[in-house]
Amino acid sequence: MPMRCLVLHGPNLNLLGRREPQIYGSLTLAAVDRLVQEHGRRRGVRVECRQSNVEGQLIDWLQGAEREGFGGVVLNPGAFTHYSIALRDAVAGIGVPVVEVHLSNIHAREPWRHQSVIAAVARGQVLGFGPVSYLLGLEALIAVEGEARESREARQPRAPRARRPAPARAGRPSRR
């Protein structure tokens, strides 16, 4: 079964393309979603993208991710990054890995954007690469899933292989 990934965009990301294009670029959210989904198809991953301006909705989606069968979440929490303890607690409380992504390099911007309350509980962070941040976030989840699969397989002893009968030997019977 192909891996399924959930991409969550937080507040104001629905305005992509029109919103401060000098910072966030000119692609719309729909175009970013198409890029991530195409990348997912190339990598054999099914990607579902959702956006909300509502903190509680993002929390509900995070809490439901495992139940819905997602193997990981790529999350751009938008401005919630900098202060939402509720979103931080949701990321910390779920079993699926979450990769935090940002279009812009938050460390090169206003000082109050330098802090992410999500970073410490996310599996990792990718930022500053525009829409490519999402593709790299997806790659990170694929790598994390691969590692998890390998360690599951290493813990499960393999069933012993059935022994094949030795092939019949051609040629002269040995004289003993």
Cite the active site residues. 24, 102
- Cα 23 to chain centroid, rounded: 23
37 versus 76: smaller Cβ distance to ligand DQA = 76
User: Rounded to the nearest whole angstrom, what is the least distance from the CB of residue 111 to ligand DQA in the complex?
Assistant: 12
The Cα 106–Cα 154 span in angstroms is 39
* Binding of ligand DQA by 86 (CB under 6 A): no
What tokens does 31 get?
Answer: 């175009």
What tokens does 135 get?
Answer: 């593709």
103 versus 142: smaller Cβ distance to ligand DQA = 103
What character string, x for contact with ligand DQA (CB under 6 A) and - otherwise, covers 87-126? Answer: ---------------xxx-x------x-------------
* Binding of ligand DQA by 12 (CB under 6 A): yes
Angle at 141 between CA 57 and CA 89, to 5 degrees: 40
Nearest partner of 9 among 108, 131, 119, 141, judged by Cα: 131
The alpha helices in 53-165, defined as continuous H runs, are 55-64, 85-93, 132-155
User: Rounded to the nearest whole angstrom, what is the least distance from the CB of residue 87 to ligand DQA in the complex?
Assistant: 12
Nearest partner of 89 among 52, 126, 66, 122, judged by Cα: 122
User: Rounded to the nearest whole angstrom, what is the least distance from the CB of residue 58 to ligand DQA in the complex?
Assistant: 12
What character string, x for contact with ligand DQA (CB under 6 A) and - otherwise, covers 28-67? Answer: ----------------------------------------
What tokens does 30 get?
Answer: 């729909």
Instruction: Please report, as ranges, the residues that interact with ligand DQA according to CB under 6 A.
Output: 12, 76, 78-79, 81, 102-104, 106, 113
